[in-house]
Structure 1
Amino acid sequence: MPAMEKKKHIKRRRLVMRSSILSVIAVVLGYVFYTNFISGEETSVSEGDEAPNFILTNMEGEEVELADYKGQGVFLNFWGTYCPPCEEEMPYMENQHKEFEDRGVEVLAVNVGESDLSVERFVNRHGLNFPVLMDKEKDVLDRYGVGPLPSTFLINPEGEVENIITGSMTEESIKQYMESIEPA
């Protein structure tokens, strides 16, 4: 093969290869754009949004649906047994749950991705009596756009997210947050 033809052949192969790579990149970018912007499925929740409904299973194996709490304030807390700030605030949440459960404010503690056994041991060790829900596949975590744990969504009686708190809370701040979502 003459040198000139060999150069043209190499250039043609490079062009085909580059075109193929650019095509793959264009398809991937198109898919990402579609799933994040066009498909309409939101992946995070902001203050002022209506809290997305969900159904999760509690420690007794019963289904719990957020919509069942319409008309009440909901202190929706995402947590993990491996999270030191989560462990620190759980007794405070339990104390305030006792204060507010008859006043129309419910604590829903959503554990993210852990085994029943590790969650059960944690709940028993801390004597928790509020509903602990299991988000094994982290679907609700993703739907709410939760980043660091703990994260808490304060949902008013109308079902709107009033406030989002990331990081640990003191018992006094938990009390104030529960008062802010208490039905009138």
Structure 2
Amino acid sequence: MYKRREREIEAMRELIISAAKEIIAKEGFDNLSIRKIANKIEYSPAIIYHYFKDKDEIMNQVMRNGYMRIISAITKSADEDLKPSDKLKRITRDYIEEALSMPDEFLAAQLNQSPYALKHTSSLYRGASKEKPALTALCKCLKEIYTNLDDEQIELKSQMIVVSTFGLIVKLVIEKDLDEEQRQRLIETFIEEVVCKI
């Protein structure tokens, strides 16, 4: 009985998060509201407060879920036994592919300036590589490649990779009519000619 109740609670939380993701993807973080979520799942707003403290908790969960997917893809690649340059290529490719697997959610989060979004997406400040797991994994890989650079230079290189990769992802999401072959050619060329030469 207790396990069934836990499953029901988890299913309802997932339903709420899923509805929130759809609203965010269409309207952005700023337009998310408890009432819109309630209307989408056809429950009263009071029910949502039974599962989440407030809208902020829902937004943080949405951001966390997306960020954890990306971190999982990157850290898996970072842990593989590859030579450092191949590891860098794999990390970059996995980041791009994971972001492209959730394009609306990714763009809504990355282009949002709310404190909730920035808490998860900011990566350009000094010291970010010590706080952001994805950036940490990238820096670790770059340290293996550029043994003569100090931590600050490595962090700057990793931040430039993040910024330029984000630019490619945005264009790939916006230009939806690209065929898969061209998409892959762009990703490969970007990795070889931009990421590996930063």
Fold equivalence (TM over 0.5): no
Kindly indicate which of the two structures has a greater share of residues assigned to strand: 1
Greater relative contact order, per chain length (Cα 8 Å cut-off, separation 6+): 1
TM interval, short-chain normalised: under 0.3
Q: With structure 1 as the length reference, what TM-score do the two structures score?
A: 0.27
Q: With structure 2 as the length reference, what TM-score do the two structures score?
A: 0.25
